[in-house]
């Protein structure tokens, strides 16, 4: 059984030589997509922040300019601001909870790396925590 | 890159991969590039094992990397990157085989394997016969054998890759081995 398994593995391990050039092209396309996605997320965050600031500034100016007869406008503005801030806070909290284990894991992996490095004297990892 | 990988012990390799996944999930492009360089050949070889066609394997691996780039952020456990990436390649490769099946029906995949193999075993040797037998095996069975015997995935991991229960993996693996034995018997001179 073991010999049979070894033979399967050996027969499947063979194949054409890996050509790095077409591989690089494939990788470049994936990199571009990854980069674009990361940049889009960053821009979306900036745009959302700017939009939120603009709305708050507009609301504040409306409240300052409102006379005594417009107290309802102030109440609406305050209510909207509270809803907005609460919504953003909950979104951030949800995101933090969803990603929290990854942050913890990152810290743990960093520690594991340090331990492995100290164990393997002279062993230099290709990458790791700086 | 490959030789650099081989110098490291497996624990460090796994840890490095997990670290790179976590960094890439934070949007670090350099980490994603390193991760892709480390896994590129392995994923391409898996695609080749399934499709048995070099050009098709490139198409599959390229598509797979685009999917990985898009969905890496959703991977909840960086330790599962390997089986996750292999599952993407497997699904894409089997889809590509289904699409290309009718077009390439007249081609003998075994011939192509022998033509492009760098260090082909001597003709008539048990390894050469095994290679031919594997090449004529249906792609899903060859995939299963590759995941188990070459990639070294556990049955549970294969079940995750193929989205089937563990019991099904066991029975399919048994069937694939039996089919391979039968093919080898028929190939005996």
Using one digit for the tens of pLDDT, what is the confidence trace for A65-74? 777 767 777 7
What is chain B's mean pLDDT, rounded?
82
pLDDT of residue B78: 87
**Best mutation target, B4, B5, B10, B32, to test chain A (most A CBs within 10 A):** B32
Q: How many helices (H) and strands (E) does chain B have?
A: 10, 0
User: Rounded to whole angstroms, how far apart are CA atoms B144 and B166?
Assistant: 12
Q: From CA B134, how far away is CA B41, in angstroms rounded?
A: 21
At a CB cut-off of 8 Å and minimum separation 6, what does A31 contact?
B29, B32, B33, B36, B69
- Burial string for B40-76 (b: 16+ CB within 10 Å, else e) reads bbbbbbbbbbbbbbbebbbbbbbbbbbbbbeebbebe
d(CA B166, CA B19): 29
Q: What is the pLDDT of residues B81-106, one digit of tens each?
A: 999 999 999 999 999 888 876 444 43
Higher pLDDT, A109 or A8: A8
Higher pLDDT residue, B20 or B12?
Answer: B20
Contact A34 B32 (CB under 8 A): yes
Nearest chain A residue to B130 by CA distance is A11
- Percent of chain B scoring above 70 in pLDDT: 83
B185 to A21, A54, B130, B179, B189: CA distances (angstroms)? 40, 77, 10, 10, 9
**Higher pLDDT, residue B103 or B132:** B132
Between residues B18 and A31, the one the model is more confident about: B18
Among the partner-chain residues A9, A17, A38, the one whose CB lies closest to the CB of B27 is A38
A contacts of B58 (beta carbons < 8 Å): 22-23, 26
DSSP character at residue A100: H
Question: Which of A53-57, A104-108, B49-53, B154-158 comes out lowest in average pLDDT?
Answer: A104-108
Does pTM top 0.80 for this prediction?
no
Has residue A126 got a pLDDT over 60? no
Residue B175 clears pLDDT 80, i.e. is over it: yes
Q: Which of the four pLDDT bands, split at 50, 70 and 90, describes residue A43?
A: confident
**Band of pLDDT at residue B64, cut at 50, 70 and 90:** very high
Does residue A26 have a pLDDT over 50?
Answer: yes
Tell me if B116 and A15 make a contact (CB, 8 A cut-off): yes
Complex prediction ipTM: 0.71
């Amino acid at each position: 059984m073991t010999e049979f398994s070894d033979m399967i593995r050996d027969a499947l391990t063979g194949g054409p030589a890996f050509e790095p050039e077409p591989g690089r092209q494939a990788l470049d396309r994936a990199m571009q997509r990854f980069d674009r996605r990361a940049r889009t997320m960053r821009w979306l965050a900036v745009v959302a922040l700017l939009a939120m600031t603009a709305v708050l500034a507009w609301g504040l100016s409306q409240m300052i300019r409102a006379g005594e007869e417009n107290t309802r406008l102030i109440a609406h503005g305050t209510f909207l601001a509270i809803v907005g801030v609460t919504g953003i806070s909950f979104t951030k909290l949800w995101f933090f909870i969803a990603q929290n284990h990854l942050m913890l894991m990152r810290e743990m992996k960093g520690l594991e790396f340090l331990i492995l490095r100290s164990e393997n004297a002279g062993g230099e990892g290709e990458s790791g925590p700086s | 890159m490959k030789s650099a990988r081989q110098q490291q012990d497996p624990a460090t390799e796994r840890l490095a991969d997990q670290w790179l996944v976590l960094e890439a999930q934070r949007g670090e492009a350099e980490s994603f590039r390193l991760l892709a360089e480390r896994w590129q050949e392995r994923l391409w070889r898996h695609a080749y094992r399934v499709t048995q066609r070099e050009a098709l394997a490139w198409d599959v691996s390229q598509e797979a990397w685009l999917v990985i780039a898009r969905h890496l952020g959703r991977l909840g456990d960086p330790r599962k990157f390997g089986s996750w990436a292999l599952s993407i390649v497997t699904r894409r490769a089997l889809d590509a085989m289904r699409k290309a099946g009718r077009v390439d029906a007249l081609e003998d995949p075994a011939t192509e394997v022998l033509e492009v193999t760098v260090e082909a075993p001597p003709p008539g040797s048990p390894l050469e016969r095994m290679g031919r037998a594997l090449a004529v095996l249906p792609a899903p069975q060859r995939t299963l054998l590759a995941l188990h015997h070459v990639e070294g995935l556990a049955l549970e991991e294969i079940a995750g890759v193929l989205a089937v229960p563990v019991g099904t993996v066991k029975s399919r693996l048994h069937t694939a081995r039996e089919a391979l034995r039968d093919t080898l018997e028929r190939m005996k001179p």
